[in-house]
Amino acid sequence: MIIRVVIAGPRGKMGQEAVHTVMNDDNMELVAVLDHKDLAVNLAQYEQFPEQYDVPVYTELHTLFDAVKADVFVDLTTPLAGYEHTKTALFAGVRPVIGTTGFTDGQLEELTNLAKSSEIGCIIAPNFAIGAVLMMKFAQMAANYFPDIEIIEMHHDRKLDAPSGTAVKTAQLMAENRLSHKQGHPEEHENIPGARGADFEGMRIHSVRLPGLVAHQQVLFGGTGELLTVRHDSFDRKSFMTGVKLSIEKVMDLKELVYGLENIL
């Protein structure tokens, strides 16, 4: 069976990779893309894509779903747009695969309930790289033994949300194995606000944004006389495409929302 896929954000860094991935997969067909800017009616007209990429472009998602029959909707846009698109896709009966990060807990809860009540599969994955998923798993394991933890996540300077979805997901996983407690000196004081980073149940998260970076994270575990570092680097956005492909395939068999690639591996 050929899976009919729609991609939102095709001009973006992730979107471009996803377009190539679906176009080059024999078991998938890119039936349409969503671009919020009215730049062209066909993907072949974009300078980023070869002229054989004959795929219609829509600027409005309802219109797209009315015109094109789709199985899976992939979103690689911005937190606000991605959230609205996910709801629209669920209402249209099209299974969302969401790589866009930065959804709030309330939004995730609402989408989880919506997917469950409509029995439509949905995958939201803050990180599609297999190595990053393993990094999160190893960090969760280490949190059993090292309760004092700091996360340093580093991304390119075009990223909108901070901390990264991966950092938040890692902290949530570690919180399952670690009792919440304040870290550092009980009387520590920030001379410059933010110096100690964001506080997630006592764990500290530091977000670095610099040109040249792609997506990198290290989790530091401090013990008596020792330091354990668990680290993952995505040097190229191709690292995310194995997870995108896998999610498009797996979401076809789901009837509810799954958050995190580790839950479908």
For the annotated catalytic residues, the residue numbers are 155, 159
The residue whose Cβ lies closest to ligand NAP is 12
Q: Does 81 bind ligand NAP (CB under 6 A)?
A: yes
Q: Which residue has the tokens 């492909």?
A: 245
Which residues 138-157 are close enough to bind ligand NAP by CB under 6 A? none
Q: Cβ 49 to ligand NAP, closest distance in Å?
A: 13
Distance between CA 251 and CA 264 in Å, rounded? Answer: 9
Residue in 3, 7, 14, 251 binding ligand NAP, rule: CB under 6 A: 14
Residue partners of 49: CB distance under 8 A and separation at least 6: 10, 16, 19, 43
Ramachandran assignment for 110, one of left (phi > 0), alpha (psi -120 to 50 degrees), beta (any other): alpha
The structure tokens listed for 105 are 């807990």
Which residues 36-75 are close enough to bind ligand NAP by CB under 6 A? 36-37
Determine the size of the site formed for ligand NAP (CB under 6 A).
Answer: 26
Q: Cβ 46 to ligand NAP, closest distance in Å?
A: 11
**Cα 11–chain centre separation:** 17
Other C-beta atoms lying within 10 Å of the C-beta of residue 146: 18
x/- mask, ligand NAP, residues 87-106, rule CB under 6 A, reads ------------xxxx----
Q: Does 241 bind ligand NAP (CB under 6 A)?
A: no
Q: Does 78 bind ligand NAP (CB under 6 A)?
A: yes
| 181 contacts 204 by C-beta, under 8 angstroms | no
Q: Cβ 165 to ligand NAP, closest distance in Å?
A: 7
Q: Which residue has the tokens 């668990």?
A: 230
Q: Does 77 bind ligand NAP (CB under 6 A)?
A: yes
Residue partners of 69: CB distance under 8 A and separation at least 6: 4, 31
* Residue ranges in the chain assigned as alpha helix (H): 13-23, 61-67, 79-92, 105-118, 130-142, 165-175, 241-251
Q: Is 9 helix (H, G, I), strand (E, B) or coil?
A: coil
The smaller minimum CB distance to ligand NAP, of residues 129 and 178, is found at: 129
x/- mask, ligand NAP, residues 17-36, rule CB under 6 A, reads -----------------x-x
Which residues 117-136 are close enough to bind ligand NAP by CB under 6 A? 125-128
Where do contacts with ligand NAP occur on this chain (CB under 6 A)?
8-9, 11-15, 34, 36-37, 76-78, 81, 99-102, 125-128, 158-159, 215, 240
